[in-house]
Amino acid sequence: KAGVTQTPRYLIKTRGQQVTLSCSPISGHRSVSWYQQTPGQGLQFLFEYFSETQRNKGNFPGRFSGRQFSNSRSEMNVSTLELGDSALYLCASSQTGWGYNEQFFGPGTRLTVL
């Protein structure tokens, strides 16, 4: 089975721009979660999607948004980029949207905002 894939792997943007990151979960997995990893704040939960619906949301501003498609693939969008948005963005998939399922992480997208 192919693992979680994220594209692109690396991205450089400038302040004020917007960016879209993509995540393809493991086949059969219906839940996709997004996390931001920074040196200062560690790994922080952004949001989770299950069956095209946002189930959970972390404490991030509205500039961070996401969506999930009918094939479970997910995208996250960050508008009006700030320097502090530079981070590793990780996507994780699991089979269901409830219970204690192992989450499988992708390799991440490294976003640099200049």
Partner 1 sequence: DQQVKQNSPSLSVQEGRISILNCDYTNSMFDYFLWYKKYPAEGPTFLISISSIKDKNEDGRFTVFLNKSAKHLSLHIVPSQPGDSAVYFCAASADRAAGNKLTFGGGTRVLVKP
Interface residues with partner 1 (CB under 8 A) are: 4, 31, 33, 35, 42-45, 48, 50, 55-56, 58, 90, 92, 94, 97-108
**How far apart are CB 52 and partner 1 at their closest, in Å?**
14
DSSP state of 81: -
Please give the torsion angle defined by the CA atoms of residues 58, 59, 61 and 66, in that order, rounded to the nearest 10 degrees: 0
Instruction: Say whether 83 sits in a helix, a strand or coil.
Output: helix
Q: Which is nearer to partner 1, 13 or 105 (CB)?
A: 105
**How far apart are CB 40 and partner 1 at their closest, in Å?**
10
Q: Which is nearer to partner 1, 79 or 110 (CB)?
A: 110
Q: Find the distance separating the first CA and the last CA of the chain, reported in whole Å.
A: 37
**How far apart are CB 32 and partner 1 at their closest, in Å?**
9
Please give the torsion angle defined by the CA atoms of residues 26, 10, 42 and 107, in that order, rounded to the nearest 10 degrees: 30
Q: Which is nearer to partner 1, 14 or 56 (CB)?
A: 56
